[in-house]
Amino acid sequence: MIKQLARLGATALWTLALLLAATRPSCGQAIVSNENNPFLDPKGHQPFEIGALVQGGIGVTENRNDFKFLMAGVHAGKVLTPNLGHGPLRGNFEYAVEVFPFWQSYTPKFQRPFCTNPPGTPEQCTPFYTVGGTFTGASVTPIILRWNVVGTKKFSFWGQAAGGLLWTNHKYPAFGGPPYNSQNDGKYADASVFNFTPQGGVGLHYFLRPRRSIDFSANAVHISSASLGDRNPGVNASVQFSLGYTWWK
């Protein structure tokens, strides 16, 4: 699974590089539309987008408000429908994916032992050792369902729901004492290196010129192992903000 995540991240980065080369202006290259906003194309072209982005944020629940996040990766999406509806929410439906080959979470450090209690023997515990700190991993969000509001020549807003998978180099988040107790520090007191990331958010495209935009978004992200590990401490809620640059075809 780790090799698959690394391979997917590398493939996404190579795809981005190839598309950047393909979208460089050249003699005789046709522009899809003179409009900055590709959703205003009078021919009804349903555009494809690919971009690079960085994202960061913090945990917002009471026991996770000192968690911090930072990641960098690529986004790719395809508009699947013409513009639908009327009024200010007139827009189109897009399917997209995101890959973050670089993902880090900065968490508090604390001390815990590891204890076992074989039948008929007294409880045995290791010396206290440090857990927590910086976790490094990779994240893939293969399902992003986005509604793009058509907007104006310069601006378009979106809302989305998404689901992804996170792998970390250590079981995330760290779990255990203090204070020490058998539930926190016993042999069934670990989290998982795999977590799921259901999420939703809103965003804005600012179109600089035809086929180019700067993108801003705010996302609420939940991190949970769905009990793949012995425990599922998770991160009930985090707020993460992203900044990206997108090429449209």
17-52 pLDDT, tens digit each = 444 444 444 444 444 455 799 999 988 899 999 999
**Average pLDDT score over the chain:** 88
| Least confident span in 8-12, 39-43, 178-182, 211-215 | 8-12
Is the Cβ–Cβ distance between 19 and 247 less than 8 Å?
yes
Q: Which residues pair with 121 in a beta bridge?
A: none
pTM equals: 0.82
Q: How far apart are CA 71 and CA 93, in angstroms?
A: 26
Q: Which pLDDT does position 176 carry in this prediction?
A: 87
Per-residue confidence band for 208, with pLDDT thresholds at 50, 70 and 90: very high
What is the arithmetic mean of pLDDT over 7-20?
47
CA distance 165 to 143: 10
Tens digit of each residue's pLDDT (9 = 90 or more) over 59-118: 998 889 999 999 999 999 999 999 999 999 999 999 999 999 999 999 999 999 999 888
Query: What pLDDT does 142 receive?
Result: 97
